[in-house]
Amino acid sequence: MTFSFCGACERLLPDDAFDEEQRRRRQSIRRCQDCIAAGNELVLMKRGTARDEEDFCSVCQLPLPIAMEESMLQPCCMKRVCNGCILSAKKCGILKNGCPFCRTPIAIAKERELLAMVTERVAVLDPVAVCFLGYHHVRGGYGLVKDPKKVIEFCQKAADMGDKNAHYILGDAYRKKWEKCSTEVCSDRDLSFQHYEKAAMEGHIFARFTLGVLECKEGHRDLALQHFLISAKMGHKLSMDNVKILLTGSIATEAICAEALQEYEAAVEDMTSTSREEAKQMGAENIRSFII
């Protein structure tokens, strides 16, 4: 007799505890018949439903804007600061003296010098810095060249240290390999899902959204809805739009959609501040030019 893992009750059960459709699924989205009958949720959908402390601006302590260009990772301390705080620091002269968080002099630094600062953080095994190095090998940048092997090498190291963003980048990296793969059973597909799921269970919004898109493509629209609801409630617009699309496809209900919209709007409100709005009007490139 063979055994399979249930993604809801986390028990290892004989295959006949699952119906045929569930048996074909990967373990993270497979539920035993008992769990289906009891309506037990998958662990994948129970974890990572709120933003963690890394997702807050180190200066104003508000949840960071979701668009990556609306905040900047500081090369000195590897803390993410929102553009609103960078603009405020520029206005009151703090940027002249250094980073708005740790005050290390970084203003008008050259990309090469910024990379040297990051390398110092890598030397002390800061997972965010290790992930930064991995990420900038995706397309090149900061004097680094494009190198898919190094993306995986650095991001795996950062992921092993618990960096959720590194899991997300690995999910993307293995997805690229999987999309090129011609065989039906592709180990890169499994790795891609595993990394996206680890990131999503740590509250990574883009990983959660990506899982929704992938599940939709695989025909699991009920699972897609569960993913989109989680990221929509954290303030992600595209996820909210997809919940509305699934409403017209009769997968979501009016009540589920209305509740999600309410939480989505509250999350967006929590991410809004006067200085962030002003920085947005100025454009991310202009804010970036204060530092580089």
Contact positions vs Zn ion (CB under 5 A) = 6, 8-9, 32, 35, 57, 59-60, 74, 76-77, 82, 85, 99, 101-102, 104
| Nearest residue to 273 (alpha-carbon basis) of 5, 143, 81, 138 | 81
| Nearer of residues 71 and 156 to Zn ion, judged by Cβ | 71
In angstroms, give the least distance from the CB of 229 to Zn ion.
22
In angstroms, give the least distance from the CB of 150 to Zn ion.
25
* Residue carrying the six token digits 């309506």: 39
Q: Give the distance, in angstroms, between the CA of residue 17 and the centroid of all CA atoms in the same chain.
A: 34
In angstroms, give the least distance from the CB of 76 to Zn ion.
4
Q: Cα dihedral angle (33, 39, 42, 48), rounded to 10 degrees? A: 180
216-240 in b/e burial notation, b at 16+ Cβ within 10 A? Answer: beeebbebbbbbbbbbbbbbbebbb
Hey, which residues does 73 pair with through a beta bridge? 80
Alpha carbon of 19 to those of 84, 215, 217: distances in Å?
A: 52, 19, 22
In angstroms, give the least distance from the CB of 188 to Zn ion.
28
| Nearer of residues 118 and 130 to Zn ion, judged by Cβ | 118
| Nearer of residues 82 and 133 to Zn ion, judged by Cβ | 82
Structure tokens at 14: 């004989």
| Nearer of residues 36 and 238 to Zn ion, judged by Cβ | 36
In angstroms, give the least distance from the CB of 133 to Zn ion.
17
In angstroms, give the least distance from the CB of 31 to Zn ion.
6
| Nearer of residues 46 and 146 to Zn ion, judged by Cβ | 46
Distance CA 158, CA 155 (A): 5
| Nearest residue to 68 (alpha-carbon basis) of 215, 244, 287 | 287
| Nearer of residues 83 and 192 to Zn ion, judged by Cβ | 83
